[in-house]
Amino acid sequence: MRLQDGRRLAWSEWGPIDGLPVLFCTGAGVSGRLGFGIDELPDLGLKLIAIDRPGIGLSDPHPNKTLSSWVDDTQQFIQANHLNNVVCVGFSQGAPFAFALAGCNLVKAIAIVSGQDELAHERLKPLLHPDVERMITAVQQDPAKFEQHFAQMATPDGMWQLIIGMSAECDRVLYENDTWRKAYQQALKEGFSQGGHPYARDLVNALSSWTVKLEEITVPVDLWYGALDTSTVHSPDFGATLALRLPNATHIIDTTQGGSILWTRARDILAKLKSHVSTK
C-alpha cells in the first residue's frame, strides 16, 4: 500500500482472510516473510500480518524512522485495511515496536516473546553484558555515528552468525534445521536488500531510551521468555523488570525453552493473546 507521504509499505500475511488480525513485529533485520504458528491460525481464527519495517524488505525507507513514525505508519495500515480488535506480537528486537503500538492504544493486547528490554533503563544497567553496555553508551554519546558504523558493517550473513553464536543449544536445533535455516536466511537477505542503514536505525531506536512509557501501558501484555535463552540482547532478567513496570502484565518463563519459544510454543502464545479480546 501507499502511505500518505507516498512511501510504500509491504507486508506478508497468513491465515483466514476474516481472522482476528495479529500484527507481528519481527526480529532484527528480517523481512516479514518469516512468520510463526502458521498451521495453528485457521483453527484459532487468526490472521497473522508481518509488516516490513521501513527500509527493510519491500517497504520504502523513512527519512527519520522512530518508534513514533512506526506508530503513524501502522495506524495508517490499520485504517486502510479496516482492521478491528487488532492484537500484536513483538519478538526480540520487535518488542519496542510492539510496545509503541500498545502505548498509543492501537492494539487491544500484545505478547512480547524473547523480547528485547529497554536496555537503557537504569534498573537494568547492572545486569547488562559488557558488550551491550558499550553499545548503549555509544548510542547515548553519538547516535548518528553509531548508526553509520553499524550500517557499514552489518550484513545478512553477519547477522545470521551473530544469531547462531548467541543462541543456546536448544535453539540451534531449530535454527540449524535445513528448511528453517534457509527460510531465516532468505528473510535476512530480503531485510538487508536496501542496505544496512534501516537495520542500524532500528538498532538505535531499540537501544535508546524508549519514547513509550511502559508504566502507562494499560492494555494486557503477555511476557514470554525461555529460561535457557542465552541472547545478550534480549531481556537480561527474562522480563522480570518489565513485569514490574507494566500495569497489566502476565509473566511466563518456561524453564525448558530458549529464545526460540516463539516457534516452539506458538499455539499457546497465540491462544493466550486471543483470549484478551472479546469478538462478540
pLDDT score recorded for residue 279: 60
Q: Count Cβ atoms below 10 Å from residue 9 Cβ, excluding itself.
A: 20
Q: What is the residue-level pLDDT of the chain in tens, covering all 280 positions? A: 999 999 999 999 999 999 999 999 999 999 999 999 999 999 999 999 999 999 999 999 999 999 999 999 999 999 999 999 999 999 999 999 999 999 999 999 999 999 999 999 999 999 999 999 999 999 999 999 999 999 998 999 999 999 999 999 999 999 999 999 999 999 999 999 999 999 999 999 999 999 999 999 999 999 999 999 999 999 999 999 999 999 999 999 999 999 999 999 999 999 999 999 976 5
pLDDT score recorded for residue 191: 96
Inter-residue contact 229 to 92 (CB < 8 Å):
no
What's the pLDDT tens digit per position in 229-265?
A: 999 999 999 999 999 999 999 999 999 999 999 999 9
Inter-residue contact 204 to 151 (CB < 8 Å):
no
In what order do the strands lie in the sheet containing 87-91?
11-14, 46-51, 20-25, 87-91, 110-113, 221-226, 249-254
Q: Which residue has the cell 518463563?
A: 253
First to last CA, the chain: 30
Please provide the size of the chain in residues. 280
Q: Compute the distance between CA of residue 274 and CA of residue 132 in angstroms, rounded to an integer.
A: 34
Q: Compute the distance between CA of residue 92 and CA of residue 34 in angstroms, rounded to an integer.
A: 14
**How does DSSP assign 54-81, residue by residue?**
TTSTTSPPPTT--HHHHHHHHHHHHHHT
Inter-residue contact 189 to 156 (CB < 8 Å):
yes
Inter-residue contact 90 to 113 (CB < 8 Å):
yes
pLDDT score recorded for residue 278: 76
The amino acid that residue 243 corresponds to is: A
Q: What is the DSSP secondary structure assignment for residue 108, as one 8-state letter?
A: S
Beta strands in 73-145 (DSSP E): 87-91, 110-113
With b for 16 or more beta-carbon neighbours within 10 A and e for fewer, the 82-93 pattern comes to ebeebbbbbbbb
Enumerate the β-bridge partners of residue 233.
Answer: none
Domains of the chain: 11-275 (3.40.50.1820)
pLDDT score recorded for residue 258: 96
What's the pLDDT tens digit per position in 39-48?
A: 999 999 999 9
Q: Compute the distance between CA of residue 54 and CA of residue 58 in angstroms, rounded to an integer.
A: 8
Whole-prediction pTM: 0.96
Half-sphere exposure of 73 (CA within 13 A, CB side): 31
